[in-house]
Amino acid sequence: MINDQDHKYRPKREEMVQKLREMGISNERVLQAFLQVKRHLFVDSAFWDVAYQDSPLPIAANQTISQPYTVAYMTSIVAEHYPSDAKVLEVGTGSGYQAAILCALGYRVFTIERQEILYQQALKRFEELGLKIQCKLGDGTLGWAAMKPFDAILVTAGSPDVPRPLIEQLADDGRLVIPIGDIKTQQMRIFHRQGNQVFESLADHFAFVPLIGKEGWKE
Protein backbone atom coordinates (compact mmCIF):
# COMPACT_ATOMS: atom_id res chain seq x y z
CA MET A 1 0.00 0.00 0.00
CA ILE A 2 1.55 3.32 -1.05
CA ASN A 3 1.60 6.35 1.21
CA ASP A 4 -0.90 8.54 -0.64
CA GLN A 5 -0.09 11.63 1.51
CA ASP A 6 -3.76 12.51 1.51
CA HIS A 7 -3.41 14.80 4.55
CA LYS A 8 -1.55 17.09 2.12
CA TYR A 9 -3.83 16.64 -0.90
CA ARG A 10 -7.30 16.65 0.70
CA PRO A 11 -7.30 20.47 1.16
CA LYS A 12 -6.18 20.89 -2.48
CA ARG A 13 -9.02 18.59 -3.55
CA GLU A 14 -11.50 20.69 -1.56
CA GLU A 15 -10.21 23.80 -3.33
CA MET A 16 -10.64 22.06 -6.70
CA VAL A 17 -14.26 21.22 -5.84
CA GLN A 18 -14.91 24.81 -4.76
CA LYS A 19 -13.49 25.99 -8.10
CA LEU A 20 -15.74 23.51 -9.98
CA ARG A 21 -18.74 25.00 -8.15
CA GLU A 22 -17.66 28.50 -9.17
CA MET A 23 -17.32 27.31 -12.78
CA GLY A 24 -20.96 26.18 -12.74
CA ILE A 25 -20.87 22.51 -11.74
CA SER A 26 -23.84 22.24 -9.40
CA ASN A 27 -24.78 18.57 -9.15
CA GLU A 28 -24.04 17.62 -5.53
CA ARG A 29 -23.58 13.91 -6.31
CA VAL A 30 -20.92 14.84 -8.87
CA LEU A 31 -19.17 17.27 -6.51
CA GLN A 32 -19.12 14.61 -3.76
CA ALA A 33 -17.51 12.14 -6.19
CA PHE A 34 -14.79 14.72 -6.97
CA LEU A 35 -14.15 15.12 -3.25
CA GLN A 36 -13.90 11.39 -2.82
CA VAL A 37 -11.63 10.37 -5.73
CA LYS A 38 -7.94 11.17 -5.20
CA ARG A 39 -6.90 12.57 -8.59
CA HIS A 40 -3.20 12.61 -7.64
CA LEU A 41 -3.23 8.79 -7.58
CA PHE A 42 -4.10 8.78 -11.30
CA VAL A 43 -0.93 10.61 -12.39
CA ASP A 44 2.79 10.04 -11.96
CA SER A 45 4.04 11.13 -8.51
CA ALA A 46 6.09 13.89 -10.23
CA PHE A 47 2.71 15.60 -10.91
CA TRP A 48 1.08 15.08 -7.50
CA ASP A 49 1.60 18.70 -6.46
CA VAL A 50 -0.25 20.00 -9.53
CA ALA A 51 -2.88 17.24 -9.68
CA TYR A 52 -5.65 19.48 -8.33
CA GLN A 53 -5.14 22.34 -10.75
CA ASP A 54 -7.84 22.60 -13.39
CA SER A 55 -5.69 21.39 -16.26
CA PRO A 56 -5.00 18.25 -18.23
CA LEU A 57 -1.75 16.45 -17.34
CA PRO A 58 0.45 14.04 -19.27
CA ILE A 59 0.07 10.29 -18.77
CA ALA A 60 1.81 7.41 -20.61
CA ALA A 61 1.63 6.85 -24.38
CA ASN A 62 1.59 10.59 -25.10
CA GLN A 63 -1.98 10.91 -23.79
CA THR A 64 -3.58 13.11 -21.11
CA ILE A 65 -5.78 12.87 -18.06
CA SER A 66 -8.59 15.33 -18.86
CA GLN A 67 -9.05 18.63 -17.06
CA PRO A 68 -11.25 18.21 -13.92
CA TYR A 69 -13.84 20.68 -15.31
CA THR A 70 -14.21 18.59 -18.49
CA VAL A 71 -14.66 15.38 -16.49
CA ALA A 72 -17.19 17.12 -14.23
CA TYR A 73 -19.08 18.54 -17.23
CA MET A 74 -19.47 15.15 -18.91
CA THR A 75 -20.26 13.38 -15.63
CA SER A 76 -22.95 15.96 -14.82
CA ILE A 77 -24.80 15.11 -18.04
CA VAL A 78 -24.95 11.47 -16.92
CA ALA A 79 -25.79 12.27 -13.29
CA GLU A 80 -28.63 14.59 -14.34
CA HIS A 81 -30.42 11.79 -16.15
CA TYR A 82 -29.53 8.43 -14.60
CA PRO A 83 -29.82 6.92 -11.11
CA SER A 84 -26.77 5.43 -9.49
CA ASP A 85 -27.31 1.83 -10.65
CA ALA A 86 -27.18 2.74 -14.37
CA LYS A 87 -24.78 1.03 -16.75
CA VAL A 88 -22.16 3.36 -18.20
CA LEU A 89 -19.52 2.78 -20.88
CA GLU A 90 -16.50 5.05 -21.16
CA VAL A 91 -14.40 5.05 -24.34
CA GLY A 92 -10.83 6.18 -23.59
CA THR A 93 -9.81 4.86 -20.14
CA GLY A 94 -6.56 6.87 -20.10
CA SER A 95 -5.54 7.23 -16.45
CA GLY A 96 -8.82 5.72 -15.20
CA TYR A 97 -9.86 8.92 -13.39
CA GLN A 98 -13.15 9.47 -15.27
CA ALA A 99 -14.07 5.81 -14.74
CA ALA A 100 -13.28 6.12 -11.00
CA ILE A 101 -15.53 9.21 -10.75
CA LEU A 102 -18.38 7.30 -12.42
CA CYS A 103 -17.76 4.41 -10.04
CA ALA A 104 -17.92 6.79 -7.04
CA LEU A 105 -21.38 7.81 -8.28
CA GLY A 106 -22.45 4.17 -7.99
CA TYR A 107 -22.63 3.38 -11.72
CA ARG A 108 -21.76 -0.01 -13.18
CA VAL A 109 -18.74 1.08 -15.18
CA PHE A 110 -17.20 -0.42 -18.32
CA THR A 111 -14.22 1.22 -19.98
CA ILE A 112 -12.19 0.64 -23.16
CA GLU A 113 -8.66 1.78 -23.95
CA ARG A 114 -6.66 1.18 -27.16
CA GLN A 115 -3.17 1.73 -25.69
CA GLU A 116 -1.94 -1.39 -23.93
CA ILE A 117 0.26 0.44 -21.42
CA LEU A 118 -2.64 2.61 -20.25
CA TYR A 119 -4.97 -0.39 -20.09
CA GLN A 120 -2.45 -2.30 -17.92
CA GLN A 121 -1.81 0.68 -15.64
CA ALA A 122 -5.54 1.31 -15.19
CA LEU A 123 -6.22 -2.35 -14.37
CA LYS A 124 -3.54 -2.24 -11.66
CA ARG A 125 -4.76 1.09 -10.31
CA PHE A 126 -8.39 -0.07 -10.08
CA GLU A 127 -7.30 -3.23 -8.28
CA GLU A 128 -5.16 -1.30 -5.77
CA LEU A 129 -8.02 1.13 -5.11
CA GLY A 130 -10.60 -1.66 -4.84
CA LEU A 131 -12.69 -0.29 -7.73
CA LYS A 132 -14.97 -2.72 -9.57
CA ILE A 133 -14.60 -1.41 -13.11
CA GLN A 134 -14.63 -3.70 -16.13
CA CYS A 135 -11.81 -2.90 -18.55
CA LYS A 136 -11.23 -3.87 -22.15
CA LEU A 137 -8.25 -3.38 -24.43
CA GLY A 138 -9.35 -2.52 -27.96
CA ASP A 139 -10.97 -0.08 -30.35
CA GLY A 140 -13.70 1.71 -28.41
CA THR A 141 -15.22 3.21 -31.57
CA LEU A 142 -16.77 -0.25 -31.98
CA GLY A 143 -18.19 -0.16 -28.46
CA TRP A 144 -18.52 -3.31 -26.33
CA ALA A 145 -21.28 -5.32 -27.99
CA ALA A 146 -21.15 -8.23 -25.51
CA MET A 147 -22.04 -5.89 -22.63
CA LYS A 148 -24.74 -3.76 -24.32
CA PRO A 149 -27.09 -2.02 -23.81
CA PHE A 150 -25.66 0.98 -21.94
CA ASP A 151 -27.68 3.75 -20.31
CA ALA A 152 -24.89 6.18 -21.05
CA ILE A 153 -21.76 6.15 -23.18
CA LEU A 154 -19.06 8.78 -22.65
CA VAL A 155 -16.33 9.23 -25.23
CA THR A 156 -13.32 11.01 -23.77
CA ALA A 157 -11.42 11.59 -27.03
CA GLY A 158 -12.29 13.82 -29.97
CA SER A 159 -14.06 12.19 -32.91
CA PRO A 160 -14.54 13.34 -36.53
CA ASP A 161 -18.09 11.95 -36.50
CA VAL A 162 -20.49 9.83 -34.47
CA PRO A 163 -19.43 6.14 -34.32
CA ARG A 164 -22.57 4.22 -35.37
CA PRO A 165 -21.89 1.17 -33.14
CA LEU A 166 -22.08 3.42 -30.06
CA ILE A 167 -25.57 4.63 -30.99
CA GLU A 168 -26.61 1.02 -31.61
CA GLN A 169 -25.37 -0.04 -28.16
CA LEU A 170 -27.46 2.55 -26.30
CA ALA A 171 -30.41 1.36 -24.22
CA ASP A 172 -33.80 2.89 -24.86
CA ASP A 173 -33.62 6.35 -23.18
CA GLY A 174 -29.82 6.06 -23.31
CA ARG A 175 -27.46 8.94 -24.09
CA LEU A 176 -24.15 9.11 -25.94
CA VAL A 177 -21.97 12.07 -24.91
CA ILE A 178 -19.17 12.67 -27.41
CA PRO A 179 -16.91 15.55 -28.51
CA ILE A 180 -17.08 15.88 -32.32
CA GLY A 181 -15.06 18.20 -34.51
CA ASP A 182 -11.69 18.58 -36.15
CA ILE A 183 -8.37 17.34 -34.77
CA LYS A 184 -7.89 20.44 -32.55
CA THR A 185 -11.30 21.45 -31.16
CA GLN A 186 -14.61 19.73 -30.78
CA GLN A 187 -18.16 20.47 -29.69
CA MET A 188 -19.76 18.21 -27.10
CA ARG A 189 -22.79 16.50 -28.61
CA ILE A 190 -25.44 14.46 -26.85
CA PHE A 191 -27.36 11.75 -28.75
CA HIS A 192 -30.49 10.64 -26.92
CA ARG A 193 -32.06 7.39 -28.05
CA GLN A 194 -35.82 7.11 -27.67
CA GLY A 195 -37.15 3.94 -29.23
CA ASN A 196 -36.02 3.93 -32.84
CA GLN A 197 -35.36 7.65 -32.87
CA VAL A 198 -32.22 9.54 -31.90
CA PHE A 199 -32.36 13.21 -30.83
CA GLU A 200 -29.23 15.29 -30.90
CA SER A 201 -28.29 18.31 -28.79
CA LEU A 202 -25.20 20.51 -28.82
CA ALA A 203 -23.18 21.66 -25.84
CA ASP A 204 -19.86 23.46 -25.19
CA HIS A 205 -16.52 23.35 -27.02
CA PHE A 206 -13.49 21.42 -25.77
CA ALA A 207 -10.08 20.21 -26.98
CA PHE A 208 -9.48 16.48 -26.70
CA VAL A 209 -6.76 14.14 -27.98
CA PRO A 210 -8.00 12.24 -31.05
CA LEU A 211 -10.25 9.18 -30.98
CA ILE A 212 -8.37 6.75 -33.21
CA GLY A 213 -10.09 3.71 -34.64
CA LYS A 214 -12.27 2.16 -37.30
CA GLU A 215 -15.09 4.69 -36.68
CA GLY A 216 -12.81 7.55 -35.60
CA TRP A 217 -9.63 9.17 -36.93
CA LYS A 218 -7.30 6.92 -38.89
CA GLU A 219 -3.85 6.33 -37.38
User: Which listed residue (140, 174, 179, 181) binds ligand SAM by CB under 6 A?
Assistant: 140
User: Which listed residue (131, 147, 171, 209) binds ligand SAM by CB under 6 A?
Assistant: 209
User: Which listed residue (13, 87, 114, 189) binds ligand SAM by CB under 6 A?
Assistant: 114
Active-site residue 66, yes or no? yes
Contact positions with ligand SAM (CB under 6 A) in 164-193: none
Q: How far is the CB of 173 from ligand SAM (least distance, A)?
A: 24
- Give the rounded distance of the alpha carbon of 54 from its chain centre: 15
Residues 170, 175: Cα–Cα separation, whole Å? 7
User: Which listed residue (16, 34, 78, 95) binds ligand SAM by CB under 6 A?
Assistant: 95
Residues 172, 198: Cα–Cα separation, whole Å? 10
Q: Is 28 exposed, middle or buried (0-12, 13-18, 19+ CB in 10 A)?
A: exposed
Q: How far is the CB of 116 from ligand SAM (least distance, A)?
A: 10
Residues 36, 136: Cα–Cα separation, whole Å? 25
Nearest to 78 by CA among 24, 21, 154: 154
**Alpha helix ranges (H) inside 105-208:** 116-129, 164-168
Candidates 123-131, 135-143, 169-177, 181-189; binding stretch for ligand SAM (CB under 6 A): 135-143
Candidates 33-41, 125-133, 138-146, 168-176; binding stretch for ligand SAM (CB under 6 A): 138-146
Q: Which of 26, 45, 55, 66 is catalytic?
A: 66
CB atoms within 10 A of CB 170: 23
Residues touching ligand SAM, count (CB under 6 A): 26
Phi, psi of 41 (to 5 degrees): -75, 0
Is 36 among the residues that bind ligand SAM (CB under 6 A)? no
Strand pairing report for 197-206 and 186-194:
antiparallel
User: Which listed residue (31, 65, 86, 89) binds ligand SAM by CB under 6 A?
Assistant: 65
Q: Which residues are catalytic?
A: 66
Binding site for ligand SAM (CB under 6 A): 63-66, 91-92, 94-95, 97-98, 112-115, 118, 139-141, 156-157, 208-209, 211-213, 216
